[in-house]
Amino acid sequence: MSIMQYNGGSVIAMKGKECVAIASDLRLGNQALTISCNHEKIFPVSDRVYYGLAGLATDVDTMRQRLRYRVNMYTIKEEREIEPETFARLTSSALYEHRFGPMFVEPVIAGLSKTPSGGVEPFIAAADLIGCLNFAKDFVVAGTASDKLYGVAEGLWEPDLEADDLFETISQTLLNAVDRDAYSGWGAIVHVITKDKVITRKLRGRMD
């Protein structure tokens, strides 16, 4: 088994109409043995940029600390909040620094970028463990249930979903995908990022 599957866990992000959603499961395991059922994998960068890290839990912690450091340095130097796309590039370069001895994490980034006209544009991206970015216009997935997530998301997602419909879509996608994966599950957490607020909800999945 690959080291990427050692702790289990999955993350997904979806675009909506002037909103984005990012969600993850809550399991942390030691191979097939579940250690914790309340392990969050999604972290805020600002109130309109969130990112999730799927993969080896120790590297998730380490990457989170490194990214926090880099974002803080960026914010101090630039005297403004980081844009989601900039954050994606920053994540990518942080991962590529370890090209020949990588951190075993796959990031998923979701945020709202500012348009010149003053509006907001939904942004999502994902990368592999060495920082190869994937900018998608619909959804991005990562983790042990990624193959199932692709399947369900392909069937459920549609363009221009409103915030509450997007919440329903991402929740159903995630719950149904992780139910078919032994290494993910035990409930989920969903963040829907809209223009004026972030809605965070914890979901109870199959607890078996």
Residues that bind other proteins (CB under 8 A): 6-7, 28, 30, 33-36, 39, 56-58, 61-62, 65, 101
Amino acid at 73: M
User: Toward other proteins, which CB reaches closer, 26 or 153?
Assistant: 26
User: Which residue has tokens 């109130």?
Assistant: 47
User: Toward other proteins, which CB reaches closer, 6 or 43?
Assistant: 6
User: Toward other proteins, which CB reaches closer, 31 or 200?
Assistant: 31
User: Toward other proteins, which CB reaches closer, 30 or 93?
Assistant: 30
- How far is 112 from 176, CA to CA, in rounded Å? 26
Least distance in angstroms from the C-beta of 125 to other proteins: 26
- How far is 163 from 147, CA to CA, in rounded Å? 25
Least distance in angstroms from the C-beta of 147 to other proteins: 24
The full length of the chain comes to 208
What are the φ/ψ torsions at residue 138 (nearest 5 degrees)?
Answer: -120, -70
Least distance in angstroms from the C-beta of 66 to other proteins: 11
Least distance in angstroms from the C-beta of 26 to other proteins: 11
User: Which residue has tokens 């839990």?
Assistant: 57
Buried b / exposed e across 25-43, counting CB within 10 Å, b at 16+?
A: bbbbbeeeebeeeebebbe
